[in-house]
Chain A
Amino acid sequence: MPPLNDINSETLGTVEALTQSGYKYGFTTDIEMDLAPLGLNEDIVRLISARKNEPQWMLDWRLKAFALWQTMTEPNWAQIGYPPIDYQGIHYYAAPVKKAGPKSLDEVDPELLRTYEKLGIPLRERAILAGVEGADQPSQIAVDAVFDSVSVATTFRETLSKSGVIFCPISEAVRDHPDLVKQYLGSVVPQGDNYFAALNCAVFTDGSFVYIPKGVRCPMELSTYFRINARNTGQFERTLIIAEAGAYVSYLEGCTAPQRDENQLHAAVVELVVMDDAQIKYSTVQNWYPGDADGKGGIYNFVTKRGACRGARSKISWTQVETGSAITWKYPSCVLEGDDSVGEFYSVAVTNNRQQADTGTKMIHVGRNTKSTIVSKGISAGYSNNTYRGLVRITQRAKGARNHTQCDSLLIGEHCGAHTVPYIESRNPTAKVEHEATTSKIAEDQLFYCRQRGLSQEDAVGLIVNGFCKDVLKELPMEFAVEAQKLLAVSLEGSVG
């Protein structure tokens, strides 16, 4: 029998098997690409804008952002370390040579179709089964598939347009819905918000645009799958979702990338706008390539996500499951402007090997009786570092504001780190802010208990980790919950009983 202290190495091995060698999406698609020359300057910004057939105002907006970016410096306050990023060593535009935005699936390169098939992403407009017992209703999901710098297909657009919902690549929205884009783009995350957001504003290529008109409940889940494929490229996606008064939409986002030895940069901006009584539920399963066991390769994920609850009683829920990326720098936030508006943030962040995650949220309470909930679960293994960083700000006006934060860390092994950095600023004496934090380890007695009942060590770790994350996983739409549970190598939590 192995001695007691072997439990950690065994557990580590298990977690490694779960998260690292389990990366199933590391393949590359061999396809002819239209690449911008390496590097970044004004001409590259112009080239991207030209490739997208953008109107002059959009180009001007990009150039303004580029000028801003050049005056800014990379932030260094996060608990992450990495060699300097060579911004001149990246292709800022990469698209499959076939015409972007084909009219039907038949025009899409079969190689691309095979890629999405391998990724398990439905590009055919058919009902997909949720794959969960108890789900007897087939559910439908509309998909926008973004491959490097372009959207290659967006499904169910006609069905959606019948209820007035616009779901299209953002590059198309710039051309077809300029008034909406002009009104809202940069209204939540301004061009000069931060270094990576400014960069994104200058060079963003594709992403999704969603508009839900007044009083409409979006008839199906919307989703975007981002795939980085080309070597030495960055992906700069841009997503804008607007929910008019009384509207509702649930939006899902997934991401994968090939296994490569070099790091690749992903700097996205997501903006949400929610009017009176409207709600956006935004879920992410982030599974970018995390790098190998020694920390070689992997995606640098520097992302700005923010939603504005503009209307009274509006609501934004962010749910994220972050398992990939070499570095995650990401703080999906809510600006609670409308009275009685609600912001939620549910997060699971798993780091292993040499992965680093500095992630959390900002809840800015502006309106009266605004309410926010933060549930963060960090799991660290290997030599990884996992930081929760969260800001709760109650402004003077925000009478009766309330926040509850629950922040739990689970450590596996002796060499990983978990950190919690909460910032609380309250300028209103009627506000109530609560912060709870715990740190625990998977105990040897828990593993033995499970194994004595017949579970393998691997299944036991999966079960315990999944239980630890339950409060977050239950917030995910069912299809994503399944994917997330598989990612956490867990069998059936929540589907029985």
Chain B
Amino acid sequence: MLHIENLAAEIDGKLILNGISLTVPRGEVHAIMGPNGSGKSTLAYVLSGRDGYTVTGGTATFNGQDLLAMEPEARAAAGLFLAFQYPVELPGVGNANFLRTARNAQHRLRGEPELDAVQFLKLARAELKKLSMSDDMLRRNVNVGFSGGEKKRNEVLQMAILRPEFALLDETDSGLDIDALKIVAEGVNALRGPNFSALVITHYQRLLDYIAPDCVHVLAGGRIIRSGGPELALELEANGYVGMVADAA
């Protein structure tokens, strides 16, 4: 599914990713943990194609396609979804309109027929119900006036409606209370299956209590310094990053 090899990237001439290699097979959920400034968000942005990052080496393939050569919207249509750490406000743009436009844009790029308003609303309402969210969510403008928790829930709603094959969750748990955290986790877990994979980026172990990862990787200094099973997250929780980073150095 996602295969990253020796990936290096810089921003404004400063090296942030320093040779990352990582494989997330289809159907698996992996977690990336690491201290602040270790390159976690950069990895998410480089994989999703944000401007401003220069890839200086390595490769990233997604279902065999050269991910790094694709426009951000093509990556989205190929099934890559980024749940943002800081979801962006779009004043005057209704959530329903935004999501339908996005979903149909992906359909167009994939050569699939588009959804009309009725089909879309039916689908959206079904997803809302599954996530115990109110229809009001669709009527509001994208993230405008949303609380931090509501913004993250909106990311989960978008993910549910866009049905990606691969979700990148960039510190989706930051700033969430325990109830919101559960909703986010349920949203991810609802999508889990043999054809869905995710890379959960987080600073804390807490989220992994609700989204059980198949594999945990520790990122520090722009490199993966350790990989292991779910127990690695518990070890980090107990001992902190300092010791592990020092061991790796």
Is this pair of chains taken from one and the same complex?
yes
Which residues in A have some Cβ–Cβ distance to B below 8 Å? 1-4, 6-7, 133-134, 443-446, 448-457, 459, 463-464, 466-471, 491-497
**Which residues of B are found within 8 Å of A466, using beta-carbon distances?**
92-93
Given A3-B54, A4-B51, A451-B73, is A133 in contact with B93 using a C-beta cutoff of 8 Å? no
The residue in chain B whose Cβ has the minimal distance to the Cβ of A4 is: B52
Q: Which of A445, A450, A463, A493 has the most CB of B within 10 A?
A: A450
What 0/1 readout, one digit per residue, does chain B (41-55) give for beta carbons within 8 Å of chain A? 000000011111111
Does B179 count as interface, using CB distance less than 8 angstroms? no
What 0/1 readout, one digit per residue, does chain B (140-164) give for beta carbons within 8 Å of chain A? 0100000000000000001000100
CA distance A395 to B92 in the complex (A): 35
Instruction: Flag if B102 contacts A454 (CB, 8 Å).
Output: yes
CA distance A494 to B76 in the complex (A): 24
CA distance A213 to B232 in the complex (A): 82
Given A454-B102, A496-B120, is A464 in contact with B90 using a C-beta cutoff of 8 Å? yes
11 new A-B contacts, CB < 8 A, other than A1-B55, A454-B162, are A3-B51, A133-B116, A134-B117, A449-B90, A451-B76, A455-B102, A492-B100, A492-B117, A495-B117, A496-B100, A497-B138
Q: A13: shortest Cβ distance to chain B, in Å?
A: 14
18 A-B Cβ contacts within 8 A? Answer: A1-B52, A1-B53, A1-B54, A2-B51, A133-B117, A446-B88, A452-B72, A452-B82, A453-B162, A455-B73, A468-B91, A471-B92, A491-B97, A492-B97, A493-B92, A493-B94, A497-B97, A497-B138
Instruction: Flag if B93 contacts A497 (CB, 8 Å).
Output: no
CA distance A463 to B51 in the complex (A): 20
**Which residues of A are found within 8 Å of B82, using beta-carbon distances?**
452
Instruction: Flag if A494 contacts B158 (CB, 8 Å).
Output: no
The residue in chain B whose Cβ has the minimal distance to the Cβ of A495 is: B117
Does B178 count as interface, using CB distance less than 8 angstroms? no
Does B4 count as interface, using CB distance less than 8 angstroms? no
**Which residues of A are found within 8 Å of B53, using beta-carbon distances?**
1
Chain B interface category by residue count: 35 or more
Instruction: Flag if B52 contacts A493 (CB, 8 Å).
Output: no
Q: B105: shortest Cβ distance to chain A, in Å?
A: 4
What 0/1 readout, one digit per residue, does chain B (80-108) give for beta carbons within 8 Å of chain A? 01101001111111111111111101100
Instruction: Flag if B71 contacts A467 (CB, 8 Å).
Output: no
CA distance A468 to B90 in the complex (A): 9
Does B212 count as interface, using CB distance less than 8 angstroms? no
Instruction: Flag if B76 contacts A452 (CB, 8 Å).
Output: yes
Q: B79: shortest Cβ distance to chain A, in Å?
A: 10
The residue in chain B whose Cβ has the minimal distance to the Cβ of A471 is: B92
Instruction: Flag if A463 contacts B101 (CB, 8 Å).
Output: yes
The residue in chain A whose Cβ has the minimal distance to the Cβ of B83 is: A452
The residue in chain A whose Cβ has the minimal distance to the Cβ of B87 is: A449
Closest 6 CB pairs of A and B: A467-B92, A497-B96, A467-B93, A453-B102, A470-B92, A454-B106
**Which residues of B are found within 8 Å of A455, using beta-carbon distances?**
73, 101-102, 105
**Which residues of B are found within 8 Å of A448, using beta-carbon distances?**
50-51, 72, 88
Does B121 count as interface, using CB distance less than 8 angstroms? yes
**Which residues of B are found within 8 Å of A497, using beta-carbon distances?**
94-97, 121, 138-139
CA distance A454 to B54 in the complex (A): 22
Does B126 count as interface, using CB distance less than 8 angstroms? no
Q: A344: shortest Cβ distance to chain B, in Å?
A: 19
The residue in chain B whose Cβ has the minimal distance to the Cβ of A492 is: B97
**Which residues of B are found within 8 Å of A464, using beta-carbon distances?**
90, 93
Given A134-B117, A492-B101, A496-B117, is A467 in contact with B77 using a C-beta cutoff of 8 Å? no
What 0/1 readout, one digit per residue, does chain B (156-198) give for beta carbons within 8 Å of chain A? 0010001000000000000000000000000000000000000
Instruction: Flag if A496 contacts B162 (CB, 8 Å).
Output: no
CA distance A133 to B117 in the complex (A): 8
Instruction: Flag if B51 contacts A454 (CB, 8 Å).
Output: no
**Which residues of A are found within 8 Å of B76, using beta-carbon distances?**
451-454
Given A1-B52, A496-B100, is A449 in contact with B88 using a C-beta cutoff of 8 Å? yes
Instruction: Flag if A496 contacts B121 (CB, 8 Å).
Output: yes
Q: B158: shortest Cβ distance to chain A, in Å?
A: 7
**Which residues of B are found within 8 Å of A6, using beta-carbon distances?**
51
CA distance A454 to B77 in the complex (A): 6
CA distance A133 to B115 in the complex (A): 12
The residue in chain A whose Cβ has the minimal distance to the Cβ of B140 is: A497
CA distance A313 to B64 in the complex (A): 69
**Which residues of B are found within 8 Å of A492, using beta-carbon distances?**
97, 100-101, 117
CA distance A3 to B48 in the complex (A): 15
**Which residues of B are found within 8 Å of A496, using beta-carbon distances?**
94, 96-97, 100, 117, 120-121
Instruction: Flag if B92 contacts A459 (CB, 8 Å).
Output: no
CA distance A133 to B119 in the complex (A): 12
CA distance A445 to B101 in the complex (A): 18
**Which residues of A are found within 8 Å of B92, using beta-carbon distances?**
466-471, 493
CA distance A66 to B90 in the complex (A): 51
**Which residues of A are found within 8 Å of B54, using beta-carbon distances?**
1, 3
CA distance A469 to B92 in the complex (A): 7
CA distance A459 to B102 in the complex (A): 9
